[in-house]
Structure 1
Amino acid sequence: MYNNLAVISLGGSIIAPEKVDYAFLKELNSALKTYLKEDKSRKIILVCGGGAPARLYQNAMREINPDVDNEELDWLGIRATHINGQLLKAMFNEFCTDNLITDPTGHINFQGQVLVAAGWKPGFSTDNDAVILAERFEGRLIINLSNIAKVYTDDPKKNPDAKPLDAISWDDYRTMVGEQWTPGKNSPFDPIASKRAAKMHMEVVCADGRNIENTMNILYGRKYEGTLIS
């Protein structure tokens, strides 16, 4: 539907790693607005993760009730994404005519240049919402921005021999991350989203979202640092 569409899954780990990183958000805001103003046909879908607020409330719930079920934990994380999403919606208000999207399958006008979305329902992360929106508006590439620069062969915090990857197939990536989603799961791109993206033959670039110059290189089709999953 939109040939000039960029779908960005913006991890909560860079929106609010401990508290809201307003210095980063100001820089991102400026860079993306410049990108949009250069060409009025450009559109961006921003899908926001939960970050520190999600972890804070999920961990509190686990302390209060160690037997809490995953659905309740997911709902806490989803509400955290709504806070972050509303902040991003306000940031791009002049470009965004839709309210914050919390159901990627519902009615969406998308008349402006920016659409901001957040968590929908339990069972997966906002990565999956990004895939649904990319599918709906015919985006073929999702830019997955978090606090890691590349996908590794293993968790580098636990395995010093883990190697960064420039590219990986969906089959190999899905073997690494498995099939199951648990609230707060820390994987570069969540397993449920991965299954859907692979089926749709989408490409995902995982990159360090804090490096805004690199993000812009991806958007402009230039050389970038990151991992391409395809």
Structure 2
Amino acid sequence: MQSPTIISLGGSIVVPDGIDIAFISAFRTLIQERMKLGESFIVIVGGGKVCRRYQASATELGVTDKDQLDWVGIFATRLNAELVRVAFGDIAHSELVLDPAVLSKVTAPLVIGAGWKPGHSTDFGAILMAESSGAKRIINLSNIDYVYDKDPRKFPDAKKIECATWKEFRDLLPEPSAWVPGLNAPFDPVAAKRGSELSLEIAIMNGNNLEHLKNYFEGKPFTGTVIR
């Protein structure tokens, strides 16, 4: 697989409340169109609300071990990812790829992955996949239009950021040491640290409107934030 595009697909896009069949179908169509142009992809699917609900339930049931809570979330990502994988049929690799070291043995032009092991978010998984595959860019599809300088849900004067350096972006995130399983942030700060070291390009956009992704692929103006 030569320099694929990595997509970190937020679980709350795939399963906002119920499973979003319309989104999965439209996403499949767009990726298939790009594959006909010779492009290859690694799609890492997150857990989203499903992950957080299961982790919250585990906590209510008395689970306090961080690794156990992380495993609960990891299996939520794998369930979401397996649904996406089977939706693509034979064009996707025949099983989920969780360990980046496996990529060297994969020949399919489309790989679907999910959570790998405790301590790694799916954002970090996307970074590891980029490092292993030689990918230069990661697209993060979430439920936000832009990265903002502060939480726009709490601060009406929050300013959108269309382009940022890695340093500027990392200054907006919690310290990597503050990362905990299930934390809701624009991008995992541990992943951001590694992405900065690798000089990757990250495009963050709202996956609910796939026109943004289509425009990005075509080099047209799009709604979202680019970090480089």
Residue 223 of structure 1 is matched in structure 2 by 221
Note if 1:58 corresponds to 2:55. yes
Deviation at 1:19, TM superposition (A): 1.7
Whether the 8 Å contact between 1:9 and 1:145 is mirrored in structure 2 is yes
Equivalent residue for 1:110? 106
- What are the ranges of 5 or more consecutive residues in structure 2 without an aligned counterpart? none
Match of 1:29 in 2: 28
1:94 equivalent in alignment to 2:90: yes
Q: Structure 2: how far apart are the matches of 1:62 and 1:160? A: 33
Report 1:1-230 matches (<5 A). Answer: 2-3=2-3, 5-37=4-36, 39=37, 41-65=38-62, 68-106=64-102, 108-178=104-174, 179=176, 180-230=178-228
Deviations 1:133-167 (A, max 9, x none): 11111111100000001000001112121111001
Cα offset, 1:107, TM superposition: 5.4
In the aligned structure 2, how far is the partner of 1:125 from the partner of 1:207?
A: 18
Q: Which amino acid aligns with 2:61?
A: I
Residues 97, 103 of structure 2: 8 Å contact kept? no
Query: Which structure 1 residue ranges, 4+ long, deviate > 3 Å from structure 2?
Result: none
> Partners of 1:158 and 1:69 in 2: how far apart?
31
- Residue 205 of structure 1 aligns to a residue whose secondary structure is strand
Give RMSD over aligned pairs: 1.5
CA distance in 2, matches of 1:158, 1:124: 28
CA distance in 2, matches of 1:95, 1:108: 18
Q: How many residue pairs are counted as aligned between the two chains?
A: 226
Find the aligned partners of 2:26 and 2:102 in 1 and give their Cα distance. Answer: 31
CA distance in 1, matches of 2:179, 2:94: 29
1:154-213 deviation per Cα after TM superposition (whole angstroms, max 9, x unaligned): 011121211110011211221221223111111111011101100001110100011111
Q: Which whole-Å CA distance do the structure 2 matches of 1:188 and 1:35 have between them?
A: 26
Shift of residue 42, structure 1, vs aligned partner: 1.1
More helix by share: 2
Which stretches in structure 1 are left out of the alignment for 5+ residues? none
Contact kept, 8 Å, 1:148 with 1:207, in 2: the verdict is: yes
Contact preservation (8 Å) 2:141, 2:207: yes
CA contact (8 A) 1:145 1:209 kept: yes
Alpha-carbon separation, structure 2, partners of 1:135 and 1:30: 27
Residue identity (%)? 38
